[in-house]
Amino acid sequence: MKNNIFVSILAILLVVAVFFLGSFWTKLKYLESNPSQPQAGAQQQQQAPVPSGPVKVSIDDDPILGDKNAPVTIIEFSDYECPFCKRHFDDTLPQLIKEYIDIGKVKLVFRDLPLSFHDPMATTEAIAANCAREQGDDSTYFKYHDEIFKRTKSNGNGLTKDDLYKISDDLKLNTQKFKSCLDDPKQKNEVQKDLSDAGSVGASGTPSFFIGKSTADGTIEAVLTSGAQPFNVFKTIIDELL
């Protein structure tokens, strides 16, 4: 009798253990396929107060895609290793280029916001794009920018330094100068300045966008738009400004 009770208890415990193991495995697989996904498709470094209204944001001296005299400016704070930034690059940016940037209505200013949990490569990639710009112009910058997003797998380990050298070679840059530039403290300071400016306007996650009317001094007034938003969100904001 006692043996039967003991066997029954063991069977119940085994069923419970299998249930919890199955639940844990399901949750683990979900997290592997859906890494940290805050609302609106943005990755956040830290919780920071989000401005309740418009803030003033500078384009600084950062690269511009499109007509510098376009009436509307989009300032993007981004991380090359952020999967949501890659999603924006793949899904939304081509539509923005086609419908607004290429026809001179909007210019895009790209500013760096490498998140600490994607370093060191997020910062290194940001520096690499700036080094490409040093050998050319804003067009050269965006060619390099495009190749990073096309080739990276994201989440901090998408590319290696050798991959960055390969992009330099493919774009016919002077790779020796490029390698020296990657180690130049000036370039890291430029990225750090973008990080500081992002924090001052409440942008703690990527991608973060500020969309406003262009001004002569390069400082726009805009509300923060966070995450890999669909094209229609941008279209609504832009059309109201035009």
Per-residue pLDDT tens listing for the chain (242 residues):
544 444 444 444 443 343 334 433 333 333 333 333 344 566 665 555 566 689 999 999 999 999 999 999 999 999 999 999 999 999 999 999 999 999 999 999 999 999 999 999 999 999 999 999 999 999 999 999 999 999 999 987 889 999 999 999 999 999 999 999 999 888 899 999 999 999 999 999 999 999 999 999 999 999 999 999 999 999 999 999 99
Angle at 212 between CA 134 and CA 227, to 5 degrees: 75
Determine how many CB atoms are found less than 10 A away from the CB of residue 199: 15
Q: Residue 89: which CATH number?
A: 3.40.30.10
Say what the pTM is: 0.81
Same domain, 49 and 17: no
Same domain, 26 and 47: no
* Helix or strand (DSSP H, E) at 20: helix 2-33
Same domain, 111 and 187: yes
**Single-letter residue type at 117:** F
Same domain, 19 and 99: no
- pLDDT for 31 equals 35
Same domain, 28 and 122: no
Q: Which of 173, 169, 166, 132 is nearest to 151 (CA)?
A: 166
Same domain, 56 and 13: no
Determine how many CB atoms are found less than 10 A away from the CB of residue 211: 23
Question: Whole domain around residue 15: which residue ranges?
Answer: 1-34
Same domain, 208 and 89: yes
Q: What is the dihedral of CA 83, 46, 145, 154, to 10 degrees?
A: -30
* DSSP code for 71: S
Pairwise CA distance, residues 100 & 174, whole Å: 33
Q: Taking each helix axis as running N to C, give the angle between helix 138-151 and helix 121-134, from 0 to 180 degrees, rounded to the nearest 10.
A: 150
Same domain, 151 and 201: yes
- pLDDT for 156 equals 78
Same domain, 20 and 86: no
Q: Which two tokens stand for residue 216?
A: 């002569």
8 A C-beta contact, residue 214 and residue 228: no
Q: Which of 89, 59, 51 is nearest to 206 (CA)?
A: 89
Same domain, 129 and 20: no
Rg of the chain in Å (alpha carbons): 23
* DSSP code for 50: P
Q: Which two tokens stand for residue 182?
A: 């990657």
- For the chain, the domain total comes to 2
Angle at 134 between CA 132 and CA 139, to 5 degrees: 60
- Partnered with residue 212 across adjacent β-strands are 73
Same domain, 154 and 61: yes
